[in-house]
């Protein structure tokens, strides 16, 4: 993004993404930027199905809310998201949950971007 449009537009995309994420989550949820253009959303007391719904809501919010640039053109922002749940890690190891979400994020990117990936996708999408 920065290479193509410059750092100023890259910064605006990050702000835009943050606003869209905040609109898609609950007040008790926590969002943080973990590096570059990656964010982590912590959803307390949320099962896998509800977390997937939140991820889809975030993705749709970004796609349906293009960023208006200073020259009045618009920029479509998409997101690839990986979802992991405490249900997959009974001991609640947050590092493991984060690692699983990261693996799924990269799988979403490999599968064509602008999508949500989670464990057991085939069963849940069927």
Query: End-to-end CA distance of the chain, in Å?
Result: 35
Query: Is there a catalytic annotation at residue 123?
Result: no
Contact assessment for residue 4 and residue 37, using Cβ atoms and an 8 Å cutoff: no
CB atoms within 10 A of CB 68: 12
> Catalytic pick from 37, 87, 91, 123?
37
Tell me the HSE value of 82 on the side-chain side, using a 13 A CA sphere. 20
Q: Quote the tokens at residue 117.
A: 């990936």
Residue positions annotated with a catalytic role: 37
């Amino acid at each position: 993004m920065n290479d193509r449009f410059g750092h100023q537009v890259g910064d605006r995309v990050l702000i835009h993404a943050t606003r869209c994420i905040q609109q898609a989550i609950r007040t008790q949820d926590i969002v943080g930027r973990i590096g570059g253009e990656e964010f982590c959303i912590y959803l307390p007391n949320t099962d896998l199905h509800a977390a997937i719904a939140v991820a889809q809501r975030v993705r749709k919010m970004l796609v349906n809310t293009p960023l208006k640039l200073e020259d009045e053109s618009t920029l479509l922002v998409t997101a690839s998201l990986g979802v992991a749940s405490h249900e997959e890690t009974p001991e609640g190891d947050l590092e493991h949950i984060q690692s699983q979400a990261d693996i799924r994020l990269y799988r979403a990117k490999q599968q064509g971007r602008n999508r949500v990936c989670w464990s057991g996708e085939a069963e849940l999408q069927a």
